[in-house]
Structure 1
Amino acid sequence: MIFSKDYVGYLARQTVKHLVSEKMIHSDKVGVLNERVTNSMIEELALEDRINDEVRVILEAFQEDMRKTGASYPEMFKKVKNELARKYKAVL
């Protein structure tokens, strides 16, 4: 994940604070809401890490074929990552 968990927590608190102050949402338990938003944001931001791990596993399986054909690892990484992002409907 490109952000620290502390920073994601800060972003979540600021988001909740803004939404409450603009009366877009209402909550009697702001602490619980902050925690839920933080967890959701962390999960969403970790998606790219999970996709990268899956790409590495896929490319490891095709490592020999890539070596034989002279395929570039960075290029293949980017292509496979884009395909997985489409599969998971993720915006990276």
Structure 2
Amino acid sequence: MLQIGGAAMLQLTDIAQHVRESRKAQKLTQAALAARAGISRAQIERLENDKLGDMGIVLILRVLRVLDLELTLQAFNHGRPTLDDLVKDNEG
């Protein structure tokens, strides 16, 4: 899972790296991934090289779905502990 928000803020470069690594781990070529996502191989290449240009979030989400990746958003907590942080502190 890719997560954006809180302390684990990802940059587009991180998403590009996850896409490239997941594609290779699944032994997919850029062309095969592109075909499954319904976009061009050139768009996959731009995504993997962090040169998105006009590639919108809908196309990025289609690629992530093919790779069984999920992008989640969460409210920024401004440094306050999350419930998960409090549970971990209580267990230790």
TM-score (norm 1): 0.29
Q: Which has the larger radius of gyration?
A: 1
- Larger RCO (CA within 8 A; separation ≥ 6): 2
TM-score (norm 2): 0.29
More helix by share: 1
More strand by share: 2
